[in-house]
Amino acid sequence: MNPVLRLTGVSKRYGALQVTDDISFAVERGETYGILGPNGAGKTTLFNLVSGDVRPDQGSVEFDGADVNHLPPHRRCAAGIGRSYQVPRPFGGMTVFENLLVGATFGGELAEHAAYDVCMDVLERTGLKARANQLAGTLGLLDRKRLELARALATQPQLLLLDEIAGGLTEPETHELVDEIRRVKEAGVTIVWIEHVVHALLAVADRLLVINFGKRLAEGLPGAVMDDPEVRRVYLGLEA
């Protein structure tokens, strides 16, 4: 079977700044793949390359066995790539349910009657059912993060990109969110997760990729990657 996602030799430059440099990796179906790296390492640019927000200068992005370099973001979303953003971007004047409905109908291209059922299921799974009729702009941080996750899930993705979704949460809130992400994984969704809250990522990830200055530094099982001397030096600031 083809990996759900494969990047081959992907590079992106903005003027003199090389943001990603010959990055290659593959993510298997049902896997949770974590990406770590210092600020400015090029992590979010990788997501933008996968979602279609930007296009690579070199290399290819394949989704479910097909090259998607030519597809714009909305076509990639409809094909099954959903994502959250580091800073939650709800439609503040809409209710939580209406935010999900936008994701299901415009992102997932579902008919209205099917979209309602999907949205109700996602509200239940993400703990937002009691907030369904609340304006999104009045939510606290944890529920905004949940809504960001829920709106991506409402597109019914095969591949879910999570961009620092645990950032800014308290320890108990992080545990709640990790439990919800575990349930998403158990439902069979493939996840690629960028995160600075390392213990949250380690609780779910099957494999890790560490990048630095746009280059691949290490990849493998979480324990082995976190014990890698170069990872400890560059990312954790520790000497081996």
User: Residue 2 phi/psi, 5° resolution?
Assistant: -70, 145
Other C-beta atoms closer than 10 Å to the C-beta of 120 total 14
Domains of the chain: 29-54+68-234 (3.40.50.300)
List the structure tokens of 209. Answer: 């990729």
pLDDT of amino acid 238: 61
Place of tokens 């415009």: 106
pLDDT of amino acid 41: 87
- In a structure prediction context, what are the per-residue pLDDT tens digits for the chain, which is 240 residues long? 689 999 999 999 999 999 999 999 999 999 999 999 888 889 999 999 999 999 999 999 999 999 999 999 999 999 999 999 988 889 999 999 999 999 999 998 888 888 999 999 999 999 999 999 999 999 999 999 999 999 999 999 999 999 999 999 999 999 999 999 999 999 999 999 999 899 999 999 999 999 999 999 999 999 999 999 999 887 766 654
